Structure 1
């Protein structure tokens, strides 16, 4: 009964206009007075922030803060796929017949996640990693690999929570929420970086929507509040590091595995 009630309440609050109202407050000057409490509540390391905490004009400006130079190191292996974010790996594993299996007890179809039958064929037996950003985390999203941006897709949708409750008790939130997908063609393959919006996220923003190439670790986009990034690697093009497992915390720039050409497997 309790789960049913929470699920029903979440359905009611998943409307985009509610997130827009929340976002409008977070963008207001009044919200700046909540920044110290917000930082304390979520245990945010303010010493890493680019600016002193009292120099942020709004809660959203603080939430989407940059870090001081040198706070994250980028793995230098040429074929490395790095974590694009500070996050918790909620699920990862081989894609089997086009399905992301057992993501918090649910299976996801990549054809629904990408909403593109042609694109999904390349990933039918590939590898996926789901990265959840909590309010504690740094919320800039960086390029997981160097390459050319061959396609960008915006898929409107709901704004269900993508935390443990949302992924466990709401139906297929990763493929029902708003998504911004970036396809990056590397020397080895094409990586799909799926940025999933969430409750209280008014929008997902590109740093430069006209950019055609990216370097590994370069800023790509950011969330206005917490959310999730799903990385999809094509069939036979990824070898995951042994340390990368569900419920593992990773930092932006950390190696997730190595990319390879499908014909070299």
Structure 2
């Protein structure tokens, strides 16, 4: 009996018809196993995409011949997000013809719900490209700064998490945490570290025994105002730049990838406020390779190449400036291209209270918390 006639009846629907090329597949997969890791990823990537996209588990029989798809997280991490972000940045910087500006920007406004009545310049023809529109300024009265409370929101956005830092872990989104030391990196002030050699990294940051360490995470959506400001009166003494990846920081992805904020490119500004240690971290994201700090002209983000796990430091304390860069509450601090995330980690007395709810929308200038 020929092979085609043998594959009839219920066997046709049971998936056994896929067994006849097993020998050939084993040979091919054996060749794949001898390849270098980059070449293996390149050859396995298209098949893995089909594995997750095709309905009804069409490629599941391949697992019977020792082929294993990449995990969804590994698949996403293998996407060249830094290259795509640089390409997107160049595309956004292309000057649009005057007649095309209003249709393109109107589509963006409609898609992400941008309120142009708050913009300092409402005329869409004024913005030469998408990048200028992303970094648009607001009318002075659009974001009144709360003067009653000690800390305000540094940006527009959505509150992902907030509260006390416990066991050197910070909450990324509800139920997902990351290492405080991995996120901030080792202490910059080595002398203070030596004074507390046996203490945890969290305790090394706290300058007073009666204080606790707190955190707040704010996600900026694409339609939000993309500048960020000083959340309180403080002095910036140090900047640390982690080149890192540029994966999406959308809350859905943040639940999916553990320690996402530790993988991504970020700029950590640290210093002191009236209650002790204070830091503001601007976390880069996919299509948000550009992070700008207004008083730091030496900072350059989303460079073509970097060493994994590397970082570079810059101190704002000098012989002429012993305390660093003073920042006033509400003062312009920096900006993103598109949207991203701001993470505040700071020291405060135990009776510090947040005026927030998880998932709430907040705007720059509104109260975050106070004593």
Same fold (TM over 0.5): yes
- Match of residue 144 from structure 2: 73
- Report matched runs for 1:57-136 at 5 Å: 57-77=128-148, 80-101=150-171, 103-117=173-187, 118=193, 120=202, 121-122=204-205, 125-136=212-223
Mind listing any 5+ residue stretches in structure 1 that lack a counterpart?
A: 260-265
Given the alignment of the two structures, is residue 146 of structure 1 paired with residue 259 of structure 2, yes or no?
A: no
* Pairing partner for 2:334 from 191, 206, 221: 221
Deviations 1:201-255 (A, max 9, x none): 12200122168211100110101111000100126367123x3121111110111
Mind listing any 5+ residue stretches in structure 2 that lack a counterpart?
A: 1-50, 54-69, 188-192, 194-200, 298-323
* Pairing partner for 1:34 from 97, 100, 104: 104
Contact 1:238–1:257 (Cα < 8 Å) also in 2: no
Residues in 1 aligned to 2:291 and 2:351: alpha-carbon distance in whole angstroms: 27
Residues in 2 aligned to 1:110 and 1:175: alpha-carbon distance in whole angstroms: 9
1:164 CA drift (Å): 1.8
What is the aligned residue count? Answer: 257
- Report matched runs for 1:161-240 at 5 Å: 161-209=248-296, 212-234=325-347, 236=349, 239-240=352-353
Contact 2:172–2:259 (Cα < 8 Å) also in 1: no
TM-score, length-normalised on structure 2? 0.64
Deviations 1:134-175 (A, max 9, x none): 012101000011122111111110011101222011221111
1:35 CA drift (Å): 1.6
Residues in 1 aligned to 2:296 and 2:350: alpha-carbon distance in whole angstroms: 27
Q: Secondary structure at the match of 1:234?
A: strand
Deviations 1:72-127 (A, max 9, x none): 011113x6111000010011121012111463432111101101245752159511
Q: Secondary structure at the match of 1:202?
A: coil
Q: Secondary structure at the match of 1:154?
A: strand
- Match of residue 77 from structure 2: 11
Residues in 2 aligned to 1:54 and 1:238: alpha-carbon distance in whole angstroms: 50
Runs of 4+ in 1 over 6 A off after TM superposition: none
Residues in 2 aligned to 1:171 and 1:16: alpha-carbon distance in whole angstroms: 19
- Match of residue 361 from structure 2: 249
Residues in 2 aligned to 1:136 and 1:26: alpha-carbon distance in whole angstroms: 15
Normalized per residue, the structure richer in strand is: 1
187-196 or 152-161, which deviates more: 187-196
Residues in 1 aligned to 2:325 and 2:351: alpha-carbon distance in whole angstroms: 23
RMSD (Å) for aligned C-alpha atoms? 2.4
Aligned CA distance change for structure 1 residues 23 and 180 (closer, same or farther; 3 Å): same
Structure of larger gyration radius? 2
Residues in 1 aligned to 2:104 and 2:159: alpha-carbon distance in whole angstroms: 29
